Amino acid sequence: MGVTTKDIAQICKVSRTTVNRALSGTGRISEETKELILRTAKELDYHPDILATSLKNGKTQNLGVLVFDIRNQYFAQMVNAIELEAKKKSYFVSINLHEKNKDTEKEILEKLVDYRVEGIIMSPVSKGKNFAKFVNKLGKPVVIIGNNVDESIPFVGIDEATAAIEAVNHIYSKGYRKIVFVCPPLSDAKNENVFTHEQRKKGFEAAVKKHKDIEQDIISGWDYLDKVIALMKNRSNEEGGKTAFFCSGDIYALEIMKALRGMHLKAGEDFGIMGFDNIDVLDYVIPRLTTIDNAVDMVATEAVNVLFDLINGKEVKDKTIVPHLLIEGETL
C-alpha cells in the first residue's frame, strides 16, 4: 500500500516506536521530534493501515446489520437511521439481507463474526431457544429489533401488543363493531419468526374481548386478499354496520385498499381500515391510512446505542421499549 510508519521512521531517523508515539500521542516524547514526525506524516499523506491495527487490537469499527430486505420500506428506514447513528461514532455498517432464509441468516451471522464486526443488529427470521443459543455462541454483541428471540438477547422495539390494543379501541371509538384482524400466516409459520405479528394479534384479541359487542374475525395467510374480497362480497348488503380491517402492517392495508377499490368500495366510507408501521409511502396514498407509528428511527437509534453499550461491556436491559404513536388518517 502506501506510506508506513517504517518509512516515516527512516526519514525522520528515529525508530518506529517513536513514530507510533508521535502519531498516537501516547507516551513521553520531545516536542521537536513529535512535530517533525507529524509534519512528515502529513507531507507523505500517511494513512494508518487499519487492517494491521485491527489485527493487532481486534477492533474493526464495523457493525453488521442483518434484515430481511430493504425493498421493504420499514427496513430501509431502519437501516438508514442505523447508518446515520453509527457514522456519528465513526463506525461502518455492513448491510446484509437474509431474505427470510434461515440458512442464509446463519451463514451471514457466522461470516460477520469471521469478518470481526464488533456488533450486530438484526431482525431475525429464525426463532426459538436453539437459535438463541446459536446467536449467543457467536460471542459478539447482538441487538434484536422487530422479531424478538428471547430474553438472552437484548431487544429494542415498541410495545406491539399495547399498540394493537389502542388501535382496536380507536377503531371501536369510530363506531365499528365488526373488526377483522389481517396478518400473514402465523401458526403454520415453519419456525419463522413472526413475533411482531403474534404480539399484534395478542393485542387485538385482548382488546376485542373487552368489548362484548364486537364481532371479530381473523384473516391470516398469504391469500388474505381473496378472503377479504369474499368477506366483503358476503357482507355488502348487510345492515349490521360497516366492517373495519386492522392490518398487521401497512402494506397489507394498502393491498386491501387497492383490491377493494377494484370493487368500488372506498376506505373510510364503505369499510374502515387501519395499518401498522407508518411507512413513508403513506404520505402519497389517498385516502390517508390510519396507522400506528412504530418509531422506526428511534428504535434504530436506540438499537445502535444499546449495541455500543454492549460493545463497551456495559450492562444493558433485556428490553428497551420505545413509545409508539397512533396516527389518525381518513380510513376509519
Site string for a copy of itself, 233-252 (x = CB under 8 A): ------------------x-
Complete DSSP assignment for 197-260: HHHHHHHHHHHHHH-TT-EEEEEESTTHHHHHHHHHHHHTT--S--EEEEESSHHHHHHHHHHH
Evaluate the CA torsion angle 66, 71, 77, 82 in order and state its sign.
Answer: positive
Confirm if 51 and 83 have CB atoms less than 8 A apart: no
Q: Copy the grid coordinates of residue 154.
A: 437484548
Distance (Å, rounded) from C-alpha 241 to C-alpha 68?
Answer: 39
Distance (Å, rounded) from C-alpha 171 to C-alpha 155?
Answer: 29
Q: Which is nearer to DNA, 21 or 170 (CB)?
A: 21
Q: Which is nearer to a copy of itself, 63 or 144 (CB)?
A: 63
For residue 202, state whether it binds a copy of itself (rule: CB under 8 A): no
Q: Which is nearer to DNA, 30 or 191 (CB)?
A: 30
For residue 101, state whether it binds a copy of itself (rule: CB under 8 A): no
Q: Among residues 102, 106, 116, 242, which is the contact residue for a copy of itself, using CB under 8 A?
A: 116
State in angstroms the smallest separation of the CB of 2 from a copy of itself. 9
Q: Which does 20 bind (CB under 5 to 8 A by kind): a copy of itself, DNA, none?
A: DNA
Confirm if 277 and 75 have CB atoms less than 8 A apart: no
Confirm if 132 and 150 have CB atoms less than 8 A apart: yes
| Cis amide linkage into residue 124, ω under 30° from 0 | no
For residue 281, state whether it binds a copy of itself (rule: CB under 8 A): yes
Distance (Å, rounded) from C-alpha 278 to C-alpha 283?
Answer: 9
For residue 254, state whether it binds a copy of itself (rule: CB under 8 A): yes
State in angstroms the smallest separation of the CB of 253 from a copy of itself. 9
Q: Which is nearer to a copy of itself, 57 or 173 (CB)?
A: 57
Amino acid at 262: G
Q: Among residues 4, 72, 94, 136, which is the contact residue for DNA, using CB under 7 A?
A: 4
> How far from chain centre, in Å, is Cα 163?
17
Q: Which does 286 bind (CB under 5 to 8 A by kind): a copy of itself, DNA, none?
A: a copy of itself
State in angstroms the smallest separation of the CB of 117 from DNA. 16
Angle between helices 250-261 and 224-235 (to 10 degrees): 50
**Total chain residues near DNA (CB under 7 A):** 30
List phi, psi (to 5°) of 142: -135, 135
Q: Which is nearer to DNA, 51 or 263 (CB)?
A: 51
Amino acid at 139: G
For residue 230, state whether it binds DNA (rule: CB under 7 A): no
**Total chain residues near a copy of itself (CB under 8 A):** 50
Q: Which is nearer to a copy of itself, 238 or 280 (CB)?
A: 280
β-bridge partners, 217: 180
Evaluate the CA torsion angle 164, 169, 171, 172 in order and state its sign.
Answer: positive
Distance (Å, rounded) from C-alpha 301 to C-alpha 82?
Answer: 6
CA angle 269, 270, 271 (to 5 degrees): 95
Q: Among residues 28, 264, 284, 315, which is the contact residue for a copy of itself, using CB under 8 A?
A: 284
Which residues in 22-81 contact DNA (CB under 7 A)? 23-24, 26-30, 32-34, 46, 48-49, 52-53, 55-57
State in angstroms the smallest separation of the CB of 179 from DNA. 58
Residues near DNA (CB under 7 A) are: 1, 4-6, 13-18, 20-21, 23-24, 26-30, 32-34, 46, 48-49, 52-53, 55-57
Residues near a copy of itself (CB under 8 A) are: 1, 47-52, 54-55, 58, 60-62, 65, 69-71, 73, 76-77, 79-80, 83-84, 87, 92-97, 99, 110-111, 113-116, 251, 254-255, 257-258, 261, 280-281, 283-286
